[in-house]
Amino acid sequence: MPRIFAAAVLMLASTAFAQPKNATVDTVEIHANTPGATYNRHLFGQFAEHLGHGIYGGLWVGEDSKIPNVQGYRKDVIDALREIRVPEIRWPGGCFADEYYWREGIGPRSKRPVKVNTNWGGVTEDNSFGTNEFMNFTELVGADAYVSGNVGSAPPKDLQEWVEYITSPTNSTVAQERRANGRDKPWKLAMVGIGNELWGCGGNMLPEYAADVTRRYSTFIRAPEGQHIMKVASGANSDDYHWTDVMMKKAASAFDAIGVHYYTIPYEWKHKGAATGFDEDQWARTLVKTEKMDELLTKHSAIMDKYDPKKRVALLVDEWGTWYDVEPGTNPGFLYQQNTLRDAVVASLNFNIFARHADRVRGANIAQMVNVLQAMLLTKGDKMVRTPTYWAFDMYKDYQDGTVLPVDVTAGWYKKNEWTLKAVSASAVRGKDGVIHLGMTNVDPNHAQRISIKLDGEQAHEIHGRILTAARMDAHNTFDDPDHIRPVSYDGAHLSGGTLSATLPAKSIVMLDIK
């Protein structure tokens, strides 16, 4: 970190942590003596679709590229994803999956067919990144593989043989084809999506028909002996609760999980709003619309409980994130947008919401990993930027497979025009390291919040923290200034006589590690 930048951040932090006389006093109570469900590591899953520069130039540059790479994969991207312990990656879409024929992406790259990506930008797709490239990439990152099968335009045999190609240890013709393409040992395939958005680009199906299709295709997803592949049904578009009801009623026995897709869009599809340069009204409306995730998960889970009271079937938020108007001057089909402190706050709010539903919600995939929508990373030539959202994932990464500790938040309200939400959001887990990790977000862009933290059944002896904040609501990193916003050490929490208190600066995310 440059010395000038570091000094500026520390000056901001020192000022922010001072106890302001007019700050609201809130309470965060952690019930450490009544542990809840596991915060499944797959809630930090990623999504990589053949869209814009999400794959080509984003994570794949080819072995002959001058950009530092490992077997054709960008080394900087691999290293960055490893640092946040990416647990799982969904591929190849998205809508692209519904027109994807996996055989077009195997074998010698020079002989793979070239097609047009009719969903995203009308550009040519040379299929140089296919099944072998994706599965090898997940191994390099240390992530589980989640492939979305083509149910919209391919027969069941296509999906059956794709799974066999990836997983079979036998000497079948399909497994031998994999070996001929350079991979002797089968890969581990964790999850298979039975189509993508069957209600839309996946075939415009009615739920009753989609349930029958799901039952049919599920039959032919066959894992090798001794292995299990999670079968994921195409779930609802946002608040289409009828879809979830029909799928659970008619086809729940055919899948292990069902998805739901929800994007935070400040305005509407034709005019979503800008990623930067926004005012406080746009800040507030975006965060309020993000909070709708809690309502969606509550209602979809209640429907699932009717048919699956033991919660065998997981609910996966396998597409989520902010969606704005594309950056001016970029291809509108590439969905490239800048990423600001606001997006990091959106991510933290969702992480806290997921904690409240961890018994049923056991996986999520942010859209998307590199260069598309709410990305972790932005690339340009040989340069790479970690976005504020990346840093939110980094701050929360110790939640992975921790035990959720119920949290009660008593806080005031943040209001701007017609938009209102609680000023403080929080969640906590006891990590696998035994440490209590408490994530707190102050959504108010103008006022600090003073917090009294209560620990039921636990005594705090030591506390450490990090904070992500900035002077501007739309603070973001650029290729010229890649470290403009990133977490720094936080000294705004105090432990005195067993009493824990903290000050959350305006528009900040704070992660406390309590021992």
HSE-up of residue 417 (Cα within 13 Å, Cβ side): 9
Please tell me if the domain spanning 3-36+406-514 has the same topology as the one spanning 41-400: no
- The rounded mean pLDDT for the chain is 94
pLDDT at 499: 81
Type of residue at 419: W
**How far is it, in rounded angstroms, from Cα 297 to Cα 460?**
33
DSSP notation for 175-229? HHHHHHTT--SPPP--EEEE-S-TTTTTT---HHHHHHHHHHHHHT--PPTT---
HSE-up of residue 350 (Cα within 13 Å, Cβ side): 32
Catalytic residue among 49, 125, 197, 291: 197
Ordered by start, the domain boundaries in the chain are 3-36+406-514, 41-400
**How far is it, in rounded angstroms, from Cα 502 to Cα 25?**
10
In this prediction, the residues of the chain whose per-residue pLDDT falls under 50 are 1-21
pLDDT at 393: 98
pLDDT at 496: 86
Tokens of 247: 């799928």
pLDDT tens digits for 262-294? Answer: 999 999 999 999 999 999 999 999 999 999 999
Catalytic residue among 208, 319, 458, 462: 319
For residue 27, CA distances in Å to 355, 405, 412 come to 18, 16, 10
Residue 325 per-residue DSSP state: P
Tell me the backbone φ, ψ of residue 78, rounded to 5 degrees: -60, -50
**How far is it, in rounded angstroms, from Cα 337 to Cα 411?**
33
Q: Is 88 a catalytic residue?
A: no
pLDDT tens digits for 8-30? Answer: 343 344 334 444 445 557 999 99
**How far is it, in rounded angstroms, from Cα 418 to Cα 281?**
9
pLDDT at 12: 42
**How far is it, in rounded angstroms, from Cα 145 to Cα 139?**
9
Q: Which fold has domain 41-400?
A: TIM Barrel (3.20.20)
**How far is it, in rounded angstroms, from Cα 172 to Cα 403?**
43
pLDDT at 498: 73
- pTM of the entire predicted model: 0.94
- The CATH code belonging to domain 3-36+406-514 is 2.60.40.1180
pLDDT at 24: 54
Q: Is 197 a catalytic residue?
A: yes
Closest CA to 78 of 113, 34, 46: 46
